[in-house]
Amino acid sequence: MRLNSQIIIASDFAKIIDDIKASGEHNDKFVEIVREGNFLVDDVKLAIEKAYVASSDRTIIILAADSYSDVVQNRLLKIIEEPPPNKEFILLFPSKSIILPTIRSRLPISVVDESNDELEIDLDVANLDLRSVYDFVHQNAREDSSKVKEMIEYITKKALQAQRYNMDESTLKLFENSIKVLDRGSPASFVLSAVLLKLLAKKKK
């Protein structure tokens, strides 16, 4: 396992942490902040403190929790974007569906547990047009919110990979907010339409 900054999707955090440590070199240092349940704002502060401890050796900071709130992920964003020298962050999540698009766009994602792998959907994200958007929204108008969240995760990843869209902060923020409005009961058709039409508008000429 390469010990670069990354996100790992897994259910058995203890096993993954053992594998990470086994992959390290003799002078690597490891910092673990592992929580059952929610990762807290105080945990973020601790991670940032550990990151700024001066060291000539590489330090691998492992963060793991069953849940990360939007506030927590946003507070982690800057340190992940611009880590101090010789610091790598490895974030363990149980599912892609709880990762904010802003976090996901900064770090590579590895899926360890096949059961947690991403949803595959019948949509050519790289070649969107109005007809494909309309058909997809119509076909999935009655899907439940958890399934639509997975669809948005898939669409975001494929759009980033395609490099055919201007994936600026406003677009990523819309995708992030779409998860929130689903939790508040907004219909699948409304959310999928908003995401896909925004993406279509950002298609490079």
Q: What is the CATH number of the domain that holds 81?
A: 3.40.50.300
What confidence tier does 34 reach under pLDDT thresholds 50, 70, 90?
A: very high
Same domain, 54 and 103: yes
Answer yes or no: is pLDDT of 116 > 50.
no
- β-pairing, 6-9 vs 109-111, is parallel
- Residue 63 confidence (pLDDT): 98
- Residue 129 confidence (pLDDT): 94
Give the dihedral of Cα atoms 95, 100, 106, 109; nearest 10 deg: 10
Amino acid in position 135: D
Same domain, 140 and 83: no
CA separation for the pair 156, 183 (Å, rounded) = 18
* 57 falls within a domain: yes
Same domain, 67 and 143: no
pLDDT digits (tens, 9 = 90+) for 69-87: 989 999 999 999 999 999 9
Same domain, 93 and 110: yes
Same domain, 107 and 166: no
pLDDT digits (tens, 9 = 90+) for 149-197: 888 888 988 888 888 999 888 888 888 888 888 878 899 999 999 999 9
* 1 falls within a domain: no
What mean pLDDT is predicted for residues 102-120?
Answer: 75
- Residue 113 confidence (pLDDT): 67
Same domain, 65 and 108: yes
Structural domain for 56, as ranges:
6-116
Same domain, 83 and 140: no
DSSP alpha helix (H) spans, the chain: 13-22, 41-51, 70-81, 101-104, 130-139, 145-162, 169-183, 188-201
Answer yes or no: is pLDDT of 20 > 90.
yes
What mean pLDDT is predicted for residues 1-24?
Answer: 91
Among 116, 136, 158, the domain boundary falls at 116
- Residue 95 confidence (pLDDT): 85
Same domain, 101 and 192: no
Answer yes or no: is pLDDT of 105 > 60.
yes
- Residue 75 confidence (pLDDT): 95
Our count of domains for the chain comes to 2
Residue 36 contacts residue 72 (beta carbons within 8 Å)? no
- Residue 128 confidence (pLDDT): 93
- Residue 160 confidence (pLDDT): 87
Across the chain, what does the average pLDDT equal?
Answer: 89
Answer yes or no: is pLDDT of 3 > 90.
no
